[in-house]
Amino acid sequence: MIYLFVDSSGFGGIESHIQQLAALLKSQQTDVEVVFLQYYPSHPQYNQLNLLQIPYRFLSDSSVIGFFRNLTADDVVHAHGYKASILSRLFTLIAPFHLVTTFHAGESVSGKLACYEWLNRYSGCLSYNLAVSDKIRQQQPFRCELLRNFVRCKKDIVCRTRHPTLQVGFVGRLSHEKAIDRFVSLSQQLPRIECHVFGDGEQVHLLDGEALTWHGSVPSMTPYWKQLDVLLMPSRAEGMPMAALEAMAHGVVVLSTDVGEMPSLLDAECIVAESDWLSLRQVVVELERGGDGQWLQLSQRQQQWVRAHFSGEACWSQLAQIYRLA
């Protein structure tokens, strides 16, 4: 059995990754269960897992030890996030399961989170470690393997038309690292474009009074990608963002700064230097002026790239070896 272990109170990149991973394992006829360290009311992932028919459970303070003690050498625990990874490593000292952990965070942290991040890094000697970007991998003091995020792709290329008025979106946490402030600034300079924000966070106040549509935090972007033509990512820090992969798989053109693994994902015409993020405005303007033809060409090219390099099928052989299934 493969257990995907996480302490999760909301839906973001880690949760999206777990969902994609669980669905891939199920499609490969591999037993999988998602294990939450605790229950959080109204967590959107529970319903998403129900829809995918992926089993899941919740642990409590009294059941954590029992869960790990009952694992055998044939079981795999794949932990995600600081708390789940650190806790799982401690239990490898009393149980023989195979432990895999993934490092997702690409941004700098401070305070209490910095302590967790340090402990997570330096306890990595007790696990088989993965990272979603090469930059994150290089930060680890112990052996760590690159396994980029991936998404499920439809069998056929999505052929869709652009909206008459270009629809540009921001998807993710409203934070300094994701640069919602930059997105707001760019939206002010793009009067011919309609802008949308999907997400919530500590900088939500920056949306007050702005001429854009805020959709709030949504449980899944799947129903909403068709509303967008462009995903704009003026980020200060990233790993390999699931939002970018999902957008491209749905035919939404992605434009971004050159942070994290984005240079491995996008053509030169779709990416700008992080310090030169303001030039994303001109990229959007040129795409808007180029009409349906230029937009459709980019949409299909990005879809083909994701299918070839960032689909579950493309990553399965590496995962099978990591999980000792091959």
Residue with tokens 């839906």: 11
Separation CA 311–CA 32 (nearest Å) = 19
Q: For 305-315, write each residue's pLDDT tens digit.
A: 999 999 988 89
Six-digit token string for 281: 């405005």
Structural contact between residues 38 and 60, judged by C-beta atoms closer than 8 angstroms: yes
Structural contact between residues 90 and 68, judged by C-beta atoms closer than 8 angstroms: no
Domains of the chain: 2-152+311-322 (3.40.50.2000), 167-309 (3.40.50.2000)
Six-digit token string for 258: 């050159």
CA distances, 133 to each of 99, 141, 148, 250 (Å): 20, 15, 6, 22
Global model pTM greater than 0.75: yes
Six-digit token string for 305: 């790239």
Structural contact between residues 231 and 250, judged by C-beta atoms closer than 8 angstroms: no
Q: For 252-278, write each residue's pLDDT tens digit.
A: 999 999 998 899 999 999 999 999 999
Cα 116 from chain centroid? 20
State the number of CA atoms in the 13 A half-sphere of 127 facing the CB.
Answer: 30
Mark the ranges of the chain whose per-residue pLDDT is less than 70: 106-110, 326
- So what's the pLDDT on residue 153? 86
Q: Identify residue 107 by its one-letter amino acid code.
A: E
For the four alpha carbons of 131, 12, 302 and 186, in that order, the dihedral sign comes to negative
Separation CA 159–CA 15 (nearest Å) = 28
- So what's the pLDDT on residue 10? 80
Environment class of residue 74 by beta-carbon count within 10 Å: exposed (0-12), middle (13-18) or buried (19+)?
A: exposed
- So what's the pLDDT on residue 294? 92
Using DSSP, state whether 140 is helix, strand or coil.
coil
Q: For 141-155, write each residue's pLDDT tens digit.
A: 999 999 988 998 887
Other Cβ atoms closer than 10 A to 112: 8
